[in-house]
Structure 1
Amino acid sequence: MARKRYSDEDVLKLLREIELKLADGDDVRTACRSVGVSDATYYNWRRRFGGMGKSQLSELRGLEKENARLKKIVAELELDKLILKESEPPKAEGLTTSQLRQAVIHTRQKLATSERRTCQVIGLARSSMQYRAVQKIDDELRLAMIRLAKSFGRYGYRKVAELLRIEGWRVNHKKIERLWGEEGLQQPQRHKKKRRLYHEDSSIIRLRPTHSDHVWSVDFVHDKLSNGRSYKMLTVLDEYTRQALAVEVRTRMGSEDVLEVLYGLFLRHGKPEFVRRENGPEFASAATREWLEKVGVKPIRIYPGSPWENGYNERFNGTRRREVLNAEWFTTTKQAQVIINCWLKEYNHTRPHQALGMRPPVPETLIRNGP
């Protein structure tokens, strides 16, 4: 026969009945038998609920629930301490997902804890714990990536990824970055982004180009040949399209040489509305200013000692120095001009530009299909 279970309210009612019978003169055994319980059960009930009313019973229930909740919290905290101690170390800076996964497996084997609890304490998502990588053979992709890295030695993984997509590969830059690191190729250095410069009236210092042939920027770069002789390079850039219009290499170059280069570019590409220039004597001469005014081009002069105001051209010069000047050793200015012109064609027609959505300034398809 199944043992009958009494609720707390039923226990209080039976205790009152037994106490009334005891008050009438019955002994304990007789009073307990009359209500269908043993005298041992009566003593246990009286020790637990003796003298309680309904309100005291509700308070006792609340205390028991709170006590059970606190015990559970303490047990969980102790378990968390054991998990963190066993995992050694917990999630920290630089700890990979694979290392966290191994920590979860080791802790579960030692403590027999659940996967959910262990992942929560160590700091690993369960989706990452249960993820199983799909092995793919990327040998052909690796070979294509290495081939492009050798051909364009100064390109990073982002530009190589764009060139691979142009060739027909369906890959994103994150996969190329992973393969790039596995092959031991050089990773890019992270630079802190600089804030823009403003005047006191919150106006931007630099005039922003809005369309093609709106603002051209010109600048000089100095370098030396293998025999130690210095030479100069005049660079002209369309700030909107990022197209490098010309890089003129000469041993000496004055204001008349600058006007000669600009004259040829005006005939070939049309006149810009503005020309951004530095404060060198080649640009600040009266002959240069007067000639620009006659042809209807407005000059923009940067502040002395503020090369960042000519940022488009300065960036182009930095790229050219990394990819050409630091990689080549010229013996004559003619050799330098030929090699720089070859690189200039690659820069304008092939090299992906991040500011243009990884598109070159003048894609070759536009040139081939043009008039």
Structure 2
Amino acid sequence: MTFQFDSTVDGKAIKIASMIDEHTRQSLLNIVERSMTAQRLTDELDQTFTLWGGPPLVLRMDNGPEFISHVLQQFCRDRVGISYIPPGTPWNNGHIESFNNRLQKECLNRNHWTSLLEARVVIEDFKDDHNHRHRHSSLGYLTPSWGPSRLRGRTLPTAPTLTNPWVARSTDINHTVALEHGGPTIGDLPRDSE
């Protein structure tokens, strides 16, 4: 779980709370507000836990003010574990950092919000698209909403293996890119992001 910040065209701040399930890669929390209290965060977490069948074993987050608050500590006591990543080590929370990077590049950087409502609608659409249309190599190129939680007892499809070193899979599973001799090697190609 983490926060991201943006602003509307009038310069007023927007605070975005996101939470990713590390196993399914689903975006489970969507709060877009001007400011957010710890009580508002715990209310939304309670609704999210109810919607998704209960709390996770552990919430991983940085040690921001909302996350170290007494309100959140009380909410999580005897319900869910808390794991704070050390300051300055975003790689310890890599799944949400990867998601935030996509949210920043593909949504926040491309929009100039005229109102908080506009930001809420577009960011919610982005998170819905992430859950239902964005394929992840770590999920066997399934979408988060179709990923491991729906397979129940079946094995996850594996990514295709390369038989020809000059052919590589692009991020679109149905599109194959053939590289000419003397072109970049497989190691030079950009890696899929999660």
- Which aligned pairs between 1:189-268 and structure 2 lie closer than 5 A? 218-268=1-51
Q: Deviations over 1:95-147 (max 9, x none)?
A: xxxxxxxxxxxxxxxxxxxxxxxxxxxxxxxxxxxxxxxxxxxxxxxxxxxxx
Aligned partner letter, 1:219: T
CA–CA distance in 2 between the matches of 1:285 and 1:261?
A: 15
- The one-letter amino acid paired with 1:260 is D
Aligned to 1:309: 92
Shift of 1:326: 1.0
Q: Rg: which structure is higher?
A: 1
Residue of 265, 277, 296 corresponding to 2:61 = 277
1:169 aligned residue: none
Inter-partner Cα distance in structure 2 for 1:330 and 1:313: 23
Partner of 2:109: 326
Q: CA deviation at 1:342?
A: 1.3
Q: Which amino acid aligns with 2:96?
A: N
Amino acid at match of 1:362: S
- 2:76 paired residue number: 292
Matched letter for residue 66 of structure 2: E
Identity of aligned residues (%): 32
Q: Distance in 2 between matches of 1:233 and 1:240?
A: 22
Q: Tell me how far apart the structure 1 counterparts of residues 9 and 141 of structure 2 sit (CA, whole Å).
A: 35
Q: Residue deviations 1:54-86, cap 9 Å, x none?
A: xxxxxxxxxxxxxxxxxxxxxxxxxxxxxxxxx
The residue number in structure 2 matching 1:363 is 146
Return the structure number with greater helix share.
1
Aligned-residue offset at 1:287: 1.8
Matched with 2:184 is: none
1:247, CA displacement in angstroms?
2.1
Higher RCO (Cα < 8 Å, 6 or more apart):
2
In structure 1, what is the Cα distance between the partners aligned to 2:128 and 2:44?
Answer: 18
The alpha-carbon deviation at position 340 of structure 1 amounts to 1.2
Poorly superposed stretches of 4+, deviation over 3 Å: none
Provide the secondary structure at the position in 1 that maps to 2:103: helix
Determine the C-alpha separation between the residues in 2 that align with 1:313 and 1:288: 19
In terms of fraction of residues, the more strand-rich structure is 2
Deviation per residue, 1:272-321 (Å, 9 max, x gap): 11000110110101221121014x20100111111111111010000011
TM-score, normalised with respect to structure 1: 0.39
**In the alignment, does 2:84 pair up with 1:335?**
no
Any idea what SS the aligned residue of 2:9 has?
A: coil
Give the root-mean-square deviation of aligned CA atoms: 1.7
1:285 and 1:246 map into 2 onto residues whose CA distance is 19
